[in-house]
A and B are shown apart, each in its own frame.
Chain A
Amino acid sequence: MNLLPLATMLAGLILAPFLLGVINRTKAVFAGRYGSPLLQAYYDLGKLLRKGAVYSRTTTWVFRAAPVIGLASVVVALALVPISGTPASLSFSGDLVLFAYCLGLVRFFTVVAALDTGSAFEGMGASREVQFSALAEPALILGLAALARVTGSLSLTGIFSGMAGSTWLVAGPALALIAMALLIVFLAENARIPVDDPNTHLELTMIHEVMVLDYSGPDLAMILYGAALKLWVLGALIVNVLLSLLGLSGGAALAGFALGMILLAVVVGVVESVMARLSLLKVPQLLLGAGALSILAFVLIVRFTL
């Protein structure tokens, strides 16, 4: 049995919080600060796992079930994502739909748990989350469908192992459009600027952070860790698309992937440093734009290849 897929999944499980450190360090450099350690996310998780918990009296078992179900489904999503040529631990035709719907299950429970607290703030965040994600989901699935068209495969592993430097020669512009659409979905789904601001805990502008205001201790650790894994899995899609341009293989591909993920984290940090958050009314336009990019990419592929 080939253990490499499991090893890459394990790498994802271990390295995902590191990306948060890279993003924060990038922002610190831009702001002229020294910044928190690169491993700060690990320290936070360790600290939270050692603490007790405080639950709101309004909440029910739904509030406590949400973090475990959310983390479990992100881990399943992680198992479906290949890393630059190495197949995923699990792959079958149509797994890209399961991938998107696992993230949907996470969202369902995060939103329901937010409503469980009965807080106006969390309801507000929940309301925004479902609106934006309803628009991000078509962009993600149509983007993946366009990639399926390029490679003729319906599984994420098949798609990314079927892509090579030559694919870019044929369908380069389309792939660039898909990468752009995926980047927008990535920023929106991970609650990053320009859609959401992960730093403003007590502002009316926030979406994801406000929904988890009432969590503490191990529950909050699971949520933070789940968010880091989500950053990893959606980021891996973009890095896989772009990395196929270089046509690396073996150890070089894995090293390239690691560098690519760090670079992506730096890009997120740069975007957060140089851009302001969009007005909430503008966000749907951005997400619909991402969907339009995916469709345009598909049309380009159908028109100019095969």
Chain B
Amino acid sequence: MTWMAGALGVLFGGAFLCLATAGRPAWTRTVGPTVTVLGCLLGLVPVGAALSGGAAPAFCLPWSLPFGSLSVQMDALSAVFAAPILIIAALAAIYGAEYLRPFEAKKDLAASWFFFNLLAGSMLLVVVARNAVLFLLAWEIMSLASFFLVMFESEQPNVRRSGWTYLIATHIGTAFLLVLFPLLGHQGGTLDFAGFSLADPGPRLATAAFLLAVIGFGTKAGFMPLHVWLPEAHPAAPSHVSAVMSGVMIKTGIYGLVRTLTFLGTPPPWWGWVLIGIGAVSGILGVLFALAQHDLKRLLAYHSVENIGIIALGLGVGVLGVSYDHPVMAFLGFAGALLHVINHAVFKSLLFLSAGSVLHASGTREIDHLGGLLRKMPATGLAFLVGSIAICGLPPLNGFVSEFMIYVGSLSALAGAPGAQVGVLAASLIAVGSLALIGGLAVACFTKAFGVIFLGEPRSDHAVHVHEAGPAMRIPMAVLAAACLVIGLSGPLAIQFLAPAVGLLTGGATVASACPAWATEVFWKITAVAAGMVVLAALLALIRSRLLAGRSVTDAVTWDCGYAAPTPRMQYTASSFADPITRLFRVFLRTRRRFAPPSGLFPAASSFASETPDVYRERMYRPAFSTVENVLSRFRWLQHGRVNLYILCIVLALLALLAWKLS
């Protein structure tokens, strides 16, 4: 507990220390990241203890706030979420130290580091808080800190717009949570989490709580159609902040949902269907929108929606397993979802950091302006390639392990559930089908991103004058890339570490003790296969180099079917690469194309442009919000600016309340 208090103290106290260094850039540069790294290292001690040895005792202090208490606890479930938060925040801070250097001339970074440390501390507090007031306080600090971090380049109008979108969206989500917690605490008369789990909610209360949690936490997590803030805010933030937000901050939404599930007893099947439905929609549409983007960071942000969808699929499979009493399905569904939380944190922050390094070097996020960067930025390119393979869920990296768990969880239901349980069968079939389609489309999207940015020839001057990132940016990327391979090869260990947390969700010791033995064996075989694949590839490479030794190995121009003077402009671009798929799914995407074709005998300049704005934003939120604005603008007459009348209103309201209370 002392370690935990130490970590929170260092992060929150250090944040103010950063503020104190304002005006001294050299101090800020050192103090900011050091505080984050130190706080995160301290926090990892209780996380490690909780993952290996079971839950630490709850720590509770009374607090003067009504219904508030300073109760925190690091149990297995908190630890699963806290581990990526601490590790990614520390690595992003090291990266940020170098990434922010060019901005020092223009702005004071003290505020930026203040909010970054505040964000790291509040995320940790969110996952360990055991009181609703404390939780909501931490939740709000987290939202505000990340809002100010998104607004870093607030001199740009589109950054300001993205920031406001985020602020509004996150507070709409919080509004649902403000209803959720009193509802949960109503019965026990307390807002301590310990009181929630003891009380037995009736079916109606449980239903209301579940729906509120799905909407409230789903807004933070980015469930479609609550995701609209995500593709706006993540690209606008500096890249190390995007990595933290996309990699771990949105997972606090998943944490909240999962924690709420532990309060609600045995879930009815339709909760599982809701989650699988959300997962399928978010997953498939998330990757399709990603395919249609030209902006690298926007593309990655849509992939976060996709991966949150995969996590929701896993949770849905787990919930169905619990409610129909299929232990394997329940265990692997939840285990896959939780492992995917960690895996997505690793590879998505890796991708955002390498995208940041591309942006840092080339000054553009337009994929179609880049090309051939692998020659000049070998380390960044390798990091992006590793992240791409991992996010596509391909063996032998980590994405495969978690997707495999969700697959096998749903396949076990498909193969074993009795024919009468049509709901389980249909939901599992949807889960398997969506995972397969998402997998195929993700390959399309990341071959596009990696291939167009890093391979081929430079498409514009942006891509010519680039340089590799410095060591402080390369080291975090190297650590994360290594983590992708290590987690990919240590499936059996992952199962062991996740078993206690999954046990909390499946609510049964029998599942947690019976299933891992079976699953561990499968994962040892996967590890063996993955390692075998690496060895075999190395062996084949050796054979080839033996064969080619002493023979003529020459360089030539790319064979373009006899065309002798290819230019970089003739290469396929990201837009043309994705075009067949975006056309096939045009019903969902509504891509706008502006095409001025060449015409006449001596055609003048022609042009083609396409953009794919978010359909939900355009068709759902914009009309809804403009209606609200129209209605509310009728009350403008109240806002007349005369202070004495305002005070009169306040006094009248107070008198009315007093009269109501006394009567």
Residues in B whose Cβ lies below 8 Å from that of A127:
572, 576-580
Q: A56 contacts which of B374, B375, B558 (Cβ < 8 Å)?
A: B558
User: B560 an interface residue at 8 Å Cβ cutoff?
Assistant: yes
Task: Report whether B404 and A52 are in contact in the complex, using a CB–CB cutoff of 8 Å.
Answer: no
For the complex, give the distance between the alpha carbons of A212 and B462 in Å. 29
Q: Chain A, 135-172, contact with B by CB distance < 8 Å: what is the 0/1 string? A: 11110111001001101111000000000000000000
Q: Tell me the bound Cα distance from A65 to B386 in angstroms.
A: 13
Give, as a whole number of angstroms, the nearest-CB distance from B429 to chain A.
6
B395→A102 contact, CB < 8 A? yes
Determine if A3 is an interface residue (Cβ-Cβ < 8 Å). Answer: no
Cross-interface CB contact of B456 among A111, A118, A137, A218, cutoff 8 Å: A118
| Complex interface: chain B residues within 8 A of A152 (CB) | 415-416
- Measured in the bound complex, the distance between the Cα atoms of B395 and A76 in whole Å is 11
B427 → A minimal CB distance (Å): 13
> Which of B443, B537, B547, B558 contacts A214, CB < 8 Å?
B558
In A68-121, which residues have CB < 8 Å from any B CB?
68-69, 71-73, 75-76, 79, 90, 92-94, 96-98, 100-102, 104-105, 107-108, 111-112, 114-121
List residues of chain A with CB within 8 A of the CB of B557: 56-58
> Does A36 lie at the interface of the complex (its beta carbon under 8 Å from any beta carbon of B)?
no
Residue of B nearest to A106 (CB): B394
1/0 per position for B564-607, CB-CB distance to A under 8 A?
A: 00101011100011111100100000000000000000000000
Cβ contact within 8 Å between B375 and A94: no
Q: Does B647 reach chain A (CB closer than 8 Å)?
A: no
Contact B556 A55 (CB under 8 A): yes
Q: How many residues of B contact A (CB 8 A)?
A: 82
A104-B443, A137-B437, A298-B429 known; A111+B451 contact, CB < 8 A: yes
The CA-CA distance from A153 to B412 in the complex, in Å, is 8
Whole-angstrom distance between the Cβ of A300 and the nearest chain B Cβ: 12
| Chain A proximity mask over B538-559: 1 for CB below 8 Å, otherwise 0 | 0011001001100111111111
Q: Is A279 an interface residue (CB 8 A)?
A: no
Interface contact A68-B411, CB-CB below 8 Å: no
Q: Are B558 and A111 in contact (CB under 8 A)?
A: no
Measured CB to CB, the nearest residue on chain B to A102 is B395
Out of A52, A102, A118, A120, name the residue touching B551 (CB < 8 Å): A52
Q: Is the CB of A218 within 8 A of B547?
A: yes
Which residues in window 276-305 of A have CB below 8 A to B?
280, 284, 291, 295, 298, 302-303, 305
Name the B residues within 8 Å of A59 (CB-CB). Answer: 558
Closest to B532 in A: A76
B558 touches A58 (CB 8 A): yes
CB-based nearest A residue for B328: A93
Q: Is B389 engaged at the interface, CB distance under 8 Å to the other chain?
A: yes
CB distance from A195 to the nearest CB of B (A): 13
B244 interface residue (CB < 8 Å to A): no
**B395 and A101 within 8 A (CB):** yes
| B408 contact set on A, CB distance < 8 A | 93-94, 97, 154
The answer to whether the Cβ of B628 comes within 8 Å of any Cβ in the partner chain is: no
Q: Mark B419-463, 1 if CB is under 8 A from A, else 0.
A: 100100100010011011101110110111011100111000000
Chain A interface size, as a band, is 35 or more
Against A, the Cβ 8 Å flags (1 = close, 0 = not) of B511-551 are: 00000001001100110010011101100110010011001
Taking the complex as formed, is B392 at the interface, i.e. its CB lies under 8 A from any CB of chain A? yes
Q: Which residues of B contact A213 (CB under 8 A)?
A: 559, 561
B414: interface (CB < 8 Å): yes
Q: B560, A218: Cβ atoms under 8 Å? A: no
In the bound complex, residues from chain B placing their C-beta under 8 Å from that of A111 are 443, 447, 451
Q: B414 near A148 (CB under 8 angstroms)? A: yes
Complex: A116 Cα to B446 Cα, angstroms: 14
Cβ-defined contact, A119 with B556, below 8 A: no
Confirm or deny: B418 has a beta carbon within 8 angstroms of a beta carbon on chain A: yes
A305 touches B419 (CB 8 A): yes
Cross-chain contact B572 with A98 (CB below 8 angstroms):
no
| A249 contacts chain B at the CB level, 8 A cutoff | no
Name the A residues within 8 Å of B215 (CB-CB).
Answer: none
Q: How far is the CB of A112 from chain B (nearest CB, A)?
A: 5
Name the contact of B561 in the complex, choosing from A58, A72, A73, A202 (C-beta under 8 A). Answer: A202
Q: How far is the CB of A49 from chain B (nearest CB, A)?
A: 6
Q: For A151, list chain B residues within 8 Å (CB).
A: 415
A17 part of interface (Cβ distance < 8 Å) = no
Q: Chain B residues with Cβ under 8 A from A105's Cβ?
A: 389, 394-395
A221 to chain B, nearest CB (A): 9
| Interface contact A130-B455, CB-CB below 8 Å | no
B196 proximal to A (CB < 8 A): no
Inside 8 A of A55's CB, which chain B residues have their CB? 553-556
Instruction: Please pick, from A58, A72, A123, A302, the residue contacting B533 in the complex, using a CB distance under 8 A.
Output: A72
By the criterion CB–CB under 8 Å, are A57 and B556 in contact?
Answer: yes
B247 part of interface (Cβ distance < 8 Å): no
Contact of A135 with B389 in the complex, beta carbons under 8 Å: no
In the complex, B11 has a CB within 8 A of chain A: no
Extra contacts besides A67-B540, A97-B404 (14): CB < 8 Å = A51-B551, A55-B553, A57-B558, A65-B537, A76-B533, A94-B407, A115-B451, A120-B560, A127-B578, A137-B439, A141-B436, A145-B432, A149-B415, A302-B425
Q: What are 17 A-B residue pairs whose CB atoms fall within 8 Å in the complex?
A: A59-B558, A98-B529, A101-B394, A105-B394, A119-B558, A120-B570, A127-B572, A128-B580, A130-B577, A130-B581, A134-B443, A142-B432, A149-B415, A214-B559, A217-B551, A306-B418, A306-B419
Query: Which 3 A-B pairs rank lowest in CB-CB distance, beginning with the nearest?
Result: A123-B572, A115-B451, A134-B440
Chain A residues in the interface with B (C-beta under 8 A): 49, 51-60, 62, 65, 67-69, 71-73, 75-76, 79, 90, 92-94, 96-98, 100-102, 104-105, 107-108, 111-112, 114-124, 126-128, 130-131, 133-138, 140-142, 145, 148-149, 151-154, 202, 213-214, 217-219, 222, 280, 284, 291, 295, 298, 302-303, 305-306
B: residues with CB less than 8 A from A are 371-372, 374-375, 385, 389, 392-395, 400, 404, 407-408, 411-412, 414-416, 418-419, 422, 425, 429, 432-433, 435-437, 439-441, 443-444, 446-448, 450-452, 455-457, 518, 521-522, 525-526, 529, 532-534, 536-537, 540-541, 544, 547-548, 551-561, 566, 568, 570-572, 576-581, 584
